[in-house]
Amino acid sequence: EAGVTQSPTHLIKTRGQQATLRCSPISGHTSVYWYQQALGLGLQFLLWYDEGEERNRGNFPPRFSGRQFPNYSSELNVNALELEDSALYLCASSTQGFVGINQPQHFGDGTRLSIL
Amino acid sequence: KQEVTQIPAALSVPEGENLVLNCSFTDSAIYNLQWFRQDPGKGLTSLLLIQSSQREQTSGRLNASLDKSSGRSTLYIAASQPGDSATYLCAVGDSNYQLIWGAGTKLIIKP
């Protein structure tokens, strides 16, 4: 069984640009979660998508957005990049969100976004 | 606001020892508590998930306990091995269906 896959592995951008990160969940999982892991700040919840809908959002500005496609894959878009957006962005998937709240989340290896 | 604390931040022990990692949280209204490990440059691997109605979960050499009333969880690792070296993170599932994370304990097992 293929795990959660994220692309690209690394992404280098400059301030003000836009970045798109992609995530494919485990087959059969309908929920996708995005997290930011910045150096010294730990893991912060960004977004949760389930069945194509945004279910919850962490304390991040609107320039962080995303979507979930009919095949349950997901994109995270970050607009107007700032230096402090440099971080490892992790995607996780689980079975259906509200019912599957007590199911473990399975993580990809992340996309390392570096802002120059 | 839920806050999750992990102590110690780092731990180094000789191979073969049993050890305990601690996690505390401020709000007892949780859905579950999960323990993960993260290897350098990698994503997270789920180790154990304890639902709010449960007291403990076991998987192989790992045992996690949950005491909601005191806001504490422990991860017990028996007979530690060098391959156990990683950062261990605990996260609580809160009433907003979010995972709130601790900062992790970096564990080094010395051969």
> Kind of pairing, strands B44-51 and B19-25?
unpaired
Contact A107, B45 (CB under 8 A): yes
Task: Specify the 3-state DSSP secondary structure of A100.
Answer: helix
Task: Please check the confidence at residue A100 and state whether its pLDDT lies above 60.
Answer: no
Identify the pLDDT of residue B40.
85
Residues on chain B touching A107 (C-beta within 8 angstroms): 36, 43-46
What tokens does A83 get? 């230096």
Q: How far apart are CA B26 and CA B19, in angstroms?
A: 24
Q: In the predicted model, what is the mean pLDDT of chain A?
A: 92
**Cα–Cα nearest to B74, from B99, B108, B105:** B105
* CB atoms A102 and B104 under 8 Å: no
Please name the residue of chain A whose CA is at the shortest distance from the CA of residue B92: A102
A99 confidence band (pLDDT: 50, 70, 90): low
Q: How far apart are CA B82 and CA B107, in angstroms?
A: 10
Put simply, whether B83 touches A (Cβ < 8 Å) is no
**Cα–Cα nearest to A3, from A21, A22, A23, A17:** A23
Identify the pLDDT of residue A1.
67
For chain B, residues with pLDDT lower than 50 are none
Using omega within 30 degrees of 0 as the cis cutoff, is the peptide bond preceding B82 cis?
no
